Amino acid sequence: MNRKIRVAWICDFSNEKIREKITIHIGIVRNLIWKFKKNQCQALQTDKGVWNTNAFREFEKRDDVELHVIAPCPLLKQRKQDFILDGIHYYFYRDESTNLLRTLYRQIIKPKYYHYRSNRRIVKGLIKRIAPDVVHLIGAENPHYSLCLLDIQKSVPTIVQLQTLMNDPNFFGNYPIDEQSYRYRSSVEKSVILRADYIGTRAKKFISIIRDSIKPDIRLINTTLAVGEDIQEEQVKKQFDFVYFASNINKAGDLALEAFGKAFQIHPNISMDIIGGYDNEFKHALDIIIKKYDIGDAVTFEGRLKTHDDVLEQIRKSRYALLPLRIDLISGCIREAMSNGLPVITTDTGELGTQMLNKDYECALISSKDDTDALAKNMLILLNDANVADRLRNNGLKRQLERYDNSRVVDEYIDAYKKCLTEKR
């Protein structure tokens, strides 16, 4: 093609630069409600979908793609808001998930399948206006925007880039989600995968599950998320021994805290920093663990920090990263910790997951999943042997430089777009 490839991305993300451009409206009633739920209001002002932001930074440098990004925005003042920033066209729409009446309806009636008709109408209109050559949706498991793919004309090639796979049989028992939400979201994910022309992933486990139980004739594109982080080797004064961080610490924060409590019984002078959002019920469970091991003075809760850079700055204040997993193959947090020079302790998610970290050379101390005794033992190894910590730190930095390059990821996206258009002909 002589002209630029016109691509419509459908995704969910937020960063500080974007938040300066959009206008939200909370309202009197919601303000009153949020006085009792401060974490919800805070979530509006924090980064999310950093892999999308990373990709956009790379697209800004390209002159062969015209990128149009469509994303939901909670409590957007206008129904739609669009602008061009650094060469990228952004279109935000007011997410009906945050409409008070619809929220009450879903909570009281609890429909088995909510269709997000308003969101879908807006996105359908935007797609018609943009007239893209390719539609690229990031994440099939989030109904408030992924359902929009079902309305794309068959004549437009569609790619679904996987963030996770809720149809993984091991997902439900290892992720903080209630059964009804899981059934709903996994069914949406399945319908979106069935509709997609191409699936983007490198996770062999996901490919096998999709072929066996969802879409035997799946057409694959070997692409991944732009999760690379800038290598940061600057020395920072350490304030904590261990850090656990996640966008939502409900994922495995209890495992990390339990392991810390056990290690604390042997090393009573150690400290731990916990970064990320949480709900009151989960915090109550953590408080029980804190009381059990009498570690209240040794543990600090930072809550949800505003920007991704704030998170990275805070994790660098710790010596080691304690990052157990339940379901993720390899979490973004592990990559972020390695890029920032933190030796990593994690749990085994299989040969296609965290075992890959130690392929060729050791980058992390890995214990069996849910084994907090083994996690604590690995914590003691780092505390007692500086040579192990140095080896993991150096190997982790090396691994990041070798495997994760956002510019290469975007190159692969563009190759995929070209492939879609060639095969369309």
Which tokens in the block code for residue 19? 């938040």
Shared domain for 223 and 133, answered yes or no, is yes
Q: What is the DSSP string of 176-224?
A: S--HHHHHHHHHHHHHHHHH-SEEE---HHHHHHHHHHT-TTPPEE---
Q: Are 11 and 139 in contact (CB under 8 A)?
A: yes
- What is the reported pLDDT for 350? 83
Shared domain for 326 and 351, answered yes or no, is yes
Which tokens in the block code for residue 27? 């309202």
Instruction: In whole angstroms, give the CA distance from residue 415 to residue 34.
Output: 45
- Does 413 reside within a domain? yes
Q: How many domains does the chain have?
A: 2
- Does 344 reside within a domain? yes
Residuewise pLDDT in 10s, the chain (425 residues): 468 999 999 999 999 999 999 998 776 665 665 556 554 555 567 899 999 999 999 999 999 999 999 999 988 999 999 999 999 999 999 998 776 666 666 666 665 678 999 999 999 999 999 999 999 999 999 999 999 999 999 999 999 999 999 999 989 988 888 898 899 999 999 999 999 999 999 998 999 999 999 999 999 999 999 988 777 767 789 999 999 999 999 999 999 999 999 999 999 999 999 999 998 899 999 999 999 999 999 999 999 999 999 999 999 999 999 999 998 778 889 999 999 999 999 999 887 788 888 888 899 999 998 899 999 999 999 999 999 999 999 999 888 887 778 999 999 999 999 999 998 76
Shared domain for 369 and 256, answered yes or no, is yes
- Does 233 reside within a domain? no
Shared domain for 198 and 209, answered yes or no, is yes
Which domain CATH number covers 282? 3.40.50.2000
Instruction: In whole angstroms, give the CA distance from residue 45 to residue 249.
Output: 18
**DSSP letter assigned to residue 4:** P
Shared domain for 110 and 184, answered yes or no, is yes
- Does 234 reside within a domain? no
Which tokens in the block code for residue 172? 């439900």
Q: Are 137 and 115 in contact (CB under 8 A)?
A: no
- What is the reported pLDDT for 1? 47
- What is the reported pLDDT for 89? 98
- Does 259 reside within a domain? yes
The stretches of 272-316 forming alpha helices (DSSP H) are 280-293, 308-315
Shared domain for 215 and 342, answered yes or no, is no
Shared domain for 215 and 312, answered yes or no, is no
Element (H, E) at 105: helix 100-109
Shared domain for 116 and 43, answered yes or no, is yes
Query: Which of 334, 256, 343, 239 lies closest to 295 in space, CA to CA?
Result: 256
Please return the burial class of 323, using the count of CB atoms within 10 Å of its CB with bins 0-12, 13-18 and 19+.
buried
Shared domain for 137 and 61, answered yes or no, is yes
Shared domain for 167 and 194, answered yes or no, is yes
The stretches of 294-405 forming alpha helices (DSSP H) are 308-315, 332-339, 372-384, 386-403
Domain boundaries, position 186:
5-227+405-424
- Does 152 reside within a domain? yes
- What is the reported pLDDT for 332? 86
Shared domain for 32 and 144, answered yes or no, is yes
Match 């302790």 to its residue by tokens.
345
- What is the reported pLDDT for 217? 95
Q: Are 189 and 164 in contact (CB under 8 A)?
A: no
- Does 409 reside within a domain? yes
Bridge pairing between strands 220-221 and 198-200: parallel
Q: Are 276 and 242 in contact (CB under 8 A)?
A: no
Which tokens in the block code for residue 349? 């998610």
- Does 235 reside within a domain? no
Shared domain for 168 and 271, answered yes or no, is no
